Amino acid sequence: MENQIFDKPVILRQWGFWAVIAGAAALILVFAQMAGPSFEAKPSAAVQIGEIAGEIKRSAWRSFFGLANEAPAPAPVSVWTYVSFAAPILGVIAIVLSLVSGVLRENKRFYTYGAGLGIAAIVFHFLWWVALLIAGVVLLVAIIENIGDIFSFS
């Protein structure tokens, strides 16, 4: 009886509990990845679109004259780069911990919730990147269609 007082609580020794924690952390990181970059200071959308269009025009002129294109400058690494990798990894960890919990026949709720949160984090992460990819393609198509109007001198 005395050893039970000094032992860890029973819930901390269950794999399913840690699966729920990992799944919840993964889902929080996915949502933070979606909202976080919008809080950073950036130039206006018009300036960004103008820079993209200008880069496309410079690249087209360089290839027209047979000149080599400049090597692109490396993009700065921000904390959101690491978050975008950590979120699905934590989701996979949650699923693995849920499987271990299920094999050990622990509380069914823990491994069900852990697996659900892990799968939700991975699915939301994937859907977010698909949405960004579609938005990027739409933006590039709009820029290419209007490149003559952007740089016309009339």
- pTM attached to this predicted model: 0.68
pLDDT at 113: 93
Q: What is the DSSP string of 106-143?
A: --HHHHHHHHHHHHHHHHHHHHHHHHHHHHHHHHHHHH
Q: pLDDT tens digits for 45-91?
A: 778 878 888 887 888 778 877 777 777 778 778 888 888 899 999 99
Higher pLDDT, 52 or 19: 19
pLDDT of 2 reads 55
Q: Could you tell me how far CA 37 lies from the centroid of its own chain? A: 11
Of 37 and 18, the structure prediction assigns the larger pLDDT to: 18
CA distance 45 to 151: 17
Spatial contact of 121 and 29, defined as CB atoms under 8 Å apart? yes
Within 8-147, strands assigned E span: none
